[in-house]
Structure formats: C-alpha cells, structure tokens
Structure 1
Amino acid sequence: MGTYQGDATVIVGDATYDVVVDLKSKTPRSLVNHFAGSSPVTGSPVWGGTLETDDESAAVEMMRGEGVRIRLPDGSEGDITVDGTVGETLDVIGYGAPPF
C-alpha cells in the first residue's frame, strides 16, 4: 500500500489547477477456492482519496471534465475522476497504476 499527501496539479484539457490531495493505494487480495483447497490471488492496485481546492469554479471543472489527470510534484501522472460537493473536500478515484 502506498500513500501520498501534499500538493498536486489537476489537469482538465488545457487548464491546470493547484490542489492538495490525500491519496492511498492498495492491492486487493482474496482467496480462490479450488479442488485442492484455496490459493491467494492478488488483484490490480486500486487508488483514490480526497482533494481540496479553494477555487469553486475549478472544482466544478474537475467534476465535469473528461480526461482528468493528476500530476504530482515529481512529474508522475494518473487518470482520475473527481466527485463531491463544491465547497467541500472532493473524492478522487484513480484509474490504472497509482502515480505514487
């Protein structure tokens, strides 16, 4: 499991927005039963967390935008969906490999 807390940039089209994030990743594990007993199976990493911005219009753009990405200070990026209520902490769902 990885984590990242700190500054980030959200990219929506040609626009960029400075945000503060709290992100976590985990790799789900489960047991698969078969004729010889059971075996552990590891899934693909899942990640997400929360995002904060003081710019309400930016929050709306992040929630409505398509192809939204997050960039961390080291330059790594990931695809995200942003959801929530303007004026509050927003939820982030990441897709693909976590950028942290």
Structure 2
Amino acid sequence: MSNYQGPAVLITGDVEIDVVATLSGGRAELAEWGGSAQTDRATEEFFAAMEGDHATLRLPDGREATVLAKRTAIGSGRLKISGVGPLPF
C-alpha cells in the first residue's frame, strides 16, 4: 500500500489551485488509488466544474496524474477524488 499526504496542485482547464492531498492506493501496476484534496482557496464554481470531470493532480516533484472528482462536500473546501492510471506517488 502506498500513501501520500502533502501539497499538490489541482488543475482543471486554465485554473490551478493549491491543495493538500491525502492519497492512498495499492501497487502501482493495479492503478487503483484515490483520496481527497483540501483547499481554502477555491470557489464554489471551481468545485462545481470539478464534479464528475477529469483534472490533473501535480505533486511537488512534478509527477502528474489524471483524477476524477467523485463528489464534493459543499462549503467544506474538500474534494473526493479517484485516480485514473498509475500512482503518481
């Protein structure tokens, strides 16, 4: 099991938002992973645009992965995400 908790950037369209990502997943070859992204800087419009759409999650070392927003908790600044493809951590 792999885990990552720390800074990341969530990118959708031309918008980049700094987040704290909490991620976990199995072995890299299984490509099943997910977690959450927390921010206090995003607007409700950003979260609405993210829900059900693909975005890019970038870690501080430059590794990137595609994520899918599973659901949002309105007003909390928290976005639940599932990874698409190999683990970025």
For the superposition of Structure 1 and Structure 2, which TM-score range results when normalised by the shorter chain? 0.7 to 0.9
- Counterparts in 2 of 1:1-100, with a 5 A limit? 1-27=1-27, 44-54=30-40, 55-57=42-44, 58-63=46-51, 66-82=53-69, 83-88=71-76, 89-100=78-89
Distance 1:56 1:86 in 2: 10
2:31–2:84 contact (8 Å) kept in structure 1 = no
Tell me which amino acid in the other structure corresponds to 1:59.
F
Provide the secondary structure at the position in 1 that maps to 2:60. coil
Extract structure 1 runs of 4+ deviating beyond 3 A. Answer: none
1:23–1:50 contact (8 Å) kept in structure 2 = yes
Number of aligned positions between the proteins? 84
Q: What residue ranges of structure 2 are gaps of 5+ in the alignment?
A: none
Q: What residue ranges of structure 1 are gaps of 5+ in the alignment?
A: 28-42
2:66–2:83 contact (8 Å) kept in structure 1 = yes
Provide the secondary structure at the position in 2 that maps to 1:10. strand
What's the offset of the Cα at 1:56?
2.8
What root-mean-square deviation, in Å, do the aligned CA atoms of Structure 1 and Structure 2 show? 1.7
What TM-score do you get using the length of structure 2 for normalisation?
Answer: 0.81
Identity of aligned residues (%): 36
Query: Radius of gyration: which is bigger?
Result: 1
